[in-house]
């Protein structure tokens, strides 16, 4: 492999096969970087020692596929490339075979400026030669292998279930495949192996898993595609603790294979608490949670603001945003998706001016610094009434409208000002069970 040679291989014969990544012609010496999925090795063609091979090397261009036979040689100290693992050695070519030539590609795998997505998809085989893409494919393989190894060690059987089946009620539309042998009849591609794994459970296979392809005919979204791969598993006689342990176990193995250590057990929270604190059942825990600030306002203040006193008033705090101009504050309004009459107060300065005591209490309750952004979301005075305090029962539909509206805005603001607050750090994983 092109990325395998090291200084300990000096003096040995080697055969390299791969793509021409780069060619540098210095006259009597031609240097060619040969690339495969393991890395790059520099190959030297000398006119003095091998004139015929050197002449052949003059034909090489980017993305030619070649095989080179030669001797591994240590590089001179001043030519060592510390940027690649094979940078201490080079291969002095004795023989060159051009396995396949290539037209000049529309973009090169080593280009730092990426082609547009349409171009990358059209020439997918070139795009997949890029180092980042090959890293992703290798990582996916390692993660899948780690999951399989862990679940197998816990007594799970990996069992394949059929793709060609009959349509069953699911959450989306089915993809249909016409039957050749029974005209007018159709197979459905599975949206999930749900029925099959239940059959496996009543057949006595008490622990099943599958890394399986699923198909759903639905509109594209950020987390929705027509076909996708999911980790599907089922257990007989399950207890909540066993399910949590199993999932946390294979996720720990998967993240370890990707070079990350995660903390277990994961935090746990019931659905209603998640909605009250974050406005969503899959919260981003890197961001500050809501603060309930209704009690910071006097009843006449709520009436002046046309706020329903029976519904939550939540403060969203985004750290370190700094002073916003009027134009920037106005840009927050289109980001707010009001549900059920939820109301936005994006200009906290106006709250400070008109209700100074309430504003001071809100800042203290939110533990806000001077440069933190605070916006308020409440129910409007026209919203329906609630009969009981929220802390003593489940979230009601009117409360959910306020929390959900605030939850969407919380994430949107955090994404908009990500460069300022710096909370979205790579590798900062915060897992949570919402039950």
Q: pLDDT per position in the chain (435 positions), as tens?
A: 888 899 998 999 999 999 999 999 998 999 999 999 999 999 999 988 899 999 999 999 999 999 999 999 999 888 898 888 999 999 999 999 999 999 999 999 988 888 889 999 999 999 999 999 999 999 999 999 999 999 999 999 999 999 999 888 877 889 999 999 999 999 999 999 999 999 999 999 999 999 999 999 988 887 788 999 999 999 999 999 999 999 999 999 999 999 999 999 999 999 999 999 999 999 999 999 999 999 999 999 999 999 999 999 999 999 999 988 889 989 999 999 988 889 999 999 999 999 999 999 999 999 999 999 999 999 987 765 555 554 456 889 999 999 999 999 999 999 999 999 999 998 899 999 999
CA distances from 175 to 141, 198, 217, 225 (A): 27, 22, 6, 13
CA distances from 393 to 142, 205, 246, 272, 289 (A): 45, 40, 31, 9, 20
CA distances from 55 to 30, 46, 67, 104 (A): 10, 9, 15, 21
Strand order in the sheet with 207-215: 157-158, 207-215, 227-235
User: What does the pLDDT read at residue 110?
Assistant: 86
Instruction: Tell me the CB-side half-sphere exposure of residue 384, using CA atoms within 13 A.
Output: 11
Identify whether the C-beta of residue 227 lies closer than 8 Å to the C-beta of residue 163. no
Write down the domain spans for the chain.
7-100, 134-258, 271-434
Q: How many whole angstroms separate alpha carbon 93 and alpha carbon 156? A: 51
Q: How many whole angstroms separate alpha carbon 374 and alpha carbon 410? A: 10
E strand segments, 84-197:
89-100, 157-158, 176-178, 186-188
User: What does the pLDDT read at residue 63?
Assistant: 94
For 5-31, give one letter per residue: b (16+ CB within 10 A) or e: beeebeeeebebebbbbebeeeeeebb
User: What does the pLDDT read at residue 214?
Assistant: 92
Instruction: Tell me the CB-side half-sphere exposure of residue 289, using CA atoms within 13 A.
Output: 14
CATH, domain 271-434, list 3.30.1360.30, 2.40.30.160, 3.40.710.10, 3.40.50.2000: 3.30.1360.30
CATH, domain 134-258, list 3.40.50.1820, 3.40.720.10, 3.40.50.10190, 3.30.930.10: 3.30.930.10
Fold for 7-100, please state it.
OB fold (Dihydrolipoamide Acetyltransferase, E2P) (2.40.50)
User: What does the pLDDT read at residue 3?
Assistant: 87
Global pTM value: 0.84
User: What does the pLDDT read at residue 387?
Assistant: 55
């Amino acid at each position: 492999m092109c990325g395998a040679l090291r200084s300990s291989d000096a003096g040995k014969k080697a055969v390299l096969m791969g793509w021409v990544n780069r060619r540098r012609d210095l006259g009597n010496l031609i240097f060619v970087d040969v690339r495969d999925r393991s890395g790059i090795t520099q190959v030297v063609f000398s006119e003095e020692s091998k004139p015929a091979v050197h002449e052949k090397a003059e034909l090489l261009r980017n993305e030619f596929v070649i095989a080179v036979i030669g001797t591994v040689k240590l590089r001179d100290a001043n030519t060592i490339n510390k940027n690649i693992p094979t940078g201490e050695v080079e291969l002095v070519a004795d023989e060159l075979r051009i396995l396949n030539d290539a037209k000049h590609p529309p973009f090169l795998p080593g280009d730092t400026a990426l082609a547009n997505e349409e171009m990358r998809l059209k020439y997918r085989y070139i795009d997949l030669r890029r180092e980042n893409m090959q890293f992703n494919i290798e990582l996916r393989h390692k993660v899948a292998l780690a999951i399989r190894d862990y679940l197998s060690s816990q007594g799970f059987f990996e069992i394949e279930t059929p793709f060609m089946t009959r349509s069953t009620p699911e959450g989306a539309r089915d993809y249909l495949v016409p039957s050749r042998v029974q005209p007018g009849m159709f197979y459905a591609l599975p949206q999930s192996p749900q029925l099959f794994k239940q059959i496996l459970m009543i057949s006595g296979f008490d622990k099943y898993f599958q890394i399986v392809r699923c198909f759903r005919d639905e509109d594209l979204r950020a987390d929705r595609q027509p076909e996708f791969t999911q980790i599907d598993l089922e257990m007989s006689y399950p207890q909540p603790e066993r399910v949590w342990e199993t999932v946390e176990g294979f996720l720990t193995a998967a993240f370890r294979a990707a070079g990350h250590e995660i903390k277990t057990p994961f935090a746990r929270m019931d659905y209603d608490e998640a909605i009250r604190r974050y406005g969503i059942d899959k919260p981003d825990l890197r961001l500050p949670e809501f603060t309930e600030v209704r009690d910071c306002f006097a009843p006449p203040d709520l009436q002046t603001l046309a706020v329903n006193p029976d519904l939550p008033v939540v403060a969203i705090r985004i750290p370190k945003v700094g002073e916003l101009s009027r134009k920037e504050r106005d840009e927050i309004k289109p980001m707010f998706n009001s549900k059920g009459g939820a109301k936005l107060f994006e200009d906290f300065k106006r709250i400070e001016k008109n209700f100074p005591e309430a504003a001071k209490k809100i800042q203290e309750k939110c533990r806000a610094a001077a440069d933190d952004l605070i916006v308020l979301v409440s129910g409007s005075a026209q919203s329906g009434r609630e009969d009981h305090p929220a802390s003593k029962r489940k979230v009601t539909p009117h409360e959910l409208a306020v929390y959900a509206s605030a939850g969407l805005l919380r994430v949107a603001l955090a994404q908009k000002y990500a460069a300022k607050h710096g909370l979205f750090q790579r590798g900062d994983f915060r897992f949570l069970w919402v039950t």
